[in-house]
Chains A and B, each alone.
Chain A
Amino acid sequence: MQRVRLGIIGLGYIGKIHMNHSLKLPNIDLVAVSDSSKKALSEAKNAGIKKTFTSYEQLLHESDIDAVIIALPTHLHFQCAIQAAEAGKHIFLEKPIARNVEEAKGIVTAAHNNSVKLMMGYHLRFNKTFHELKTKMANGILGDVEVAYATFISSGPFFHRSESNTPLPVPDWWFNRELTGGGALMDVGIHIINLLRWYFGEIKQIKSHLGYRFNLDFEDSAICLIKFESGTSAVITAGWFLQGYQVKIEFFGTVGHAFAQHSTKSSLRTLAQRLTLSVPEFYQPHFNELRYFANCLIRDSSPSPSGEDGVKDLEAIYQAYHNNLHLD
């Protein structure tokens, strides 16, 4: 395989980002897309994608597709991923892997039984500064990291908040816990749980305090205390209340201290980067993860983060929900 023949299922916020990047990557041939929105499909056609489908089942029947990106709402992951695996398509699945652990394990089993590769979409794992942090740890520059702080706070599903001119509608499924599996911890907290597992290994215990500022049936903020089997303790904060996007990681080791972040740049800077660079700085991790996924398929190597990682991250989230400290 020289180039991966790709299909994208779902052209929402993240699906469109993957579509734009797929069109720029030399190791990907974007063959087809599917979405229930005719407007989104029309935009894809205008971007040069020849095959567009209103149902993903049609896309999965196409024989000239090697792999699919599944960028659907969480409650549709299970059914779609199972069908993709059974159709013999390698899978790049957006986080969270599924709305519950049972469905998540079903996806991993289906990928294994059908001998298809399964990679989870955790773009922060492909952020340059977070990689540098990993290198510092590996080189012993920090000593033993005793305490880690990790924060991911954004506007969550309520995109286009007050800094924007044109707010976009929030799809109804975002307001239904049955369909999402959870709130801010499930949506953005899972990124930093995955990131910290990458740094420190498996989680021994996790406890949470959940916040409900917006009076929803699920948390819009969460603070978790984590103990890793490696001995490191961590405090993570996830939230949907900020008019912006901030991811910050800070390590305190027995020798040194290190800090890294991923955040939105000013709109003027992003605009300038869109005009001058192929991919703006903020979206570079998304671009890198897709290029890596395609390379894994071309080289026949196992991608990471894997489906098993997706299951472990989800198990940690459910453990955190179960161990809610209920602070007043």
Chain B
Amino acid sequence: MSFVSFVNIQNDTVNSMKQSIINSLDLIEYSFAKETKNVVIKPNMCYYWDYTTGQTTDPNFVAALIEVIREKISPRTNISIVESDASAMKCKYAFKLLGYEKLSQDYKVDLVNLSEDKTKTTKVSSGGYDFKLQIPQTIQNADLKINVPKIKYSVPKVKMTCALKNIFGCNPYPKKFKYHPQISEVIVALNKALNFDLCIIDGNRVSGIQPRRIGLVMASRDPVAIDVAASKIAGINPKVVRYIQLAANEGIGTTNIIHRGIPLDYYKAIYPKRGIQKTLRRKAFELITTLGLNKKLGLE
């Protein structure tokens, strides 16, 4: 059984977010180790989507977390914000466009493009597959690794994105579509290899079927438990999310949750869940793709 906390954010200010993060950590009985020197924060920087879309982590939320870390550990704690290049996104632009370059200057934290970091090769097995993964040095050297994901819907094969899936972005290899045939297994393998210590979800604004401010912070040490809770909020049965089940089977965490704070059902009721129109549209797109008509119709 793992603790998962649910806390409300009063408003969009850094101070309000900071207090909510502190409350969420208190509820899971988390305390920072004073000897911590190097902290890695992995936000979600999917493409160049502004945080107001609910697709990417709000830099102000990360700013609030930095203030918490510096207050609870030491003002001199080294903090690195990490992300990697992807097929359609380059970190050098994402850091700038999404406001992380400014955050880096304001808070004196490092921005690390993991695709340019030194790496060490590690063999990891997951779901019956063996993977050779590149582990970035910045993550290896960190003594505290914090995952700061979003709650989002994803492509049919993945279904949803939250804590476990966010770690897929720590894979330094840019052409990530190479891993899509075994996406669930790779997600789990990366979580095994990188072993993040703490998950804090920026659920202030979520995407869902449309962006909405639901003012949520969730925290847990367990990425499986927090993903189970997040999938329930998004209206997805966690048993149908393959990588969540696989992660539980591989011992990364547990699907049994101990709720702390505001009831999950409150956020489930206000999350902008998929409706029939979006589902039909997705099914139609899948059918068109299956029939090979997507290119002909210009719907790639």
Contacts and interface: CB of A to CB of B under 8 A. Distances in A.
Interface of A: 16, 20, 43, 158, 160-162, 165-170, 175, 213-216, 241, 243, 267-268, 271, 274-275
A158 B50 CA distance: 11
Interface of A is mostly: loop
Nearest to B100: A215
Contact of A162 (B49, B97, B285): B49
Nearest to B87: A169
Given A165-B155, A167-B89, A271 B284 contact: yes
A161 B49 contact: yes
Given A214-B50, A271-B297, 16 more contacts: A158-B47, A158-B48, A161-B49, A161-B53, A162-B207, A166-B300, A169-B90, A170-B48, A215-B96, A216-B96, A268-B277, A268-B281, A268-B284, A271-B284, A274-B297, A274-B299
The 3 A-B pairs at the shortest CB distance, nearest first, are namely A162-B53, A167-B47, A167-B88
Interface in B2-60: 46-50, 53-55
Given A214-B97, A215-B102, A216-B96, A162 B295 contact: no
14 contacts: A16-B298, A20-B298, A160-B88, A161-B48, A162-B211, A165-B155, A167-B46, A170-B93, A214-B50, A215-B102, A241-B50, A268-B280, A271-B299, A274-B299
B97 A215 contact: yes
Nearest to B207: A162
A243 B89 contact: no
Interface string B72-101: 000000000000000111100100110101
A175 B93 contact: yes
Nearest to B93: A175
Interface residues of B, number: 32
A243 B99 CA distance: 18
A267 B285 CA distance: 10
A180 B80 CA distance: 33
Contacts of B101: 215
Contacts of A267: 281
A172 B237 CA distance: 40
A175 B48 CA distance: 12
A214 B96 contact: yes
A168 B155 CA distance: 15
B51 to A, nearest CB: 11
B295 A43 contact: yes
Contacts of B53: 161-162, 243
A166 B294 CA distance: 13
A12 B211 CA distance: 30
Contacts of B280: 268
A158 B96 CA distance: 14
Interface string B278-300: 00110011001000000101111
Interface centre among B47, B288, B295 (most CB of A within 10 A): B47
Contacts of A274: 297-299
Most buried by A among B50, B102, B207, B280: B50
Contacts of A241: 50
Contact of A165 (B46, B99, B284, B285): B285
A198 B82 CA distance: 49
Nearest to A270: B299
Most chain A Cβ neighbours within 10 Å, of B46, B96, B211, B280: B96
Contacts of B102: 215
A63 to B, nearest CB: 32
B99 A215 contact: yes
Interface centre among A43, A165, A175 (most CB of B within 10 A): A165
Nearest to B101: A215
A16 B280 CA distance: 28
Interface in B137-194: 155
B275 to A, nearest CB: 13
A71 to B, nearest CB: 16
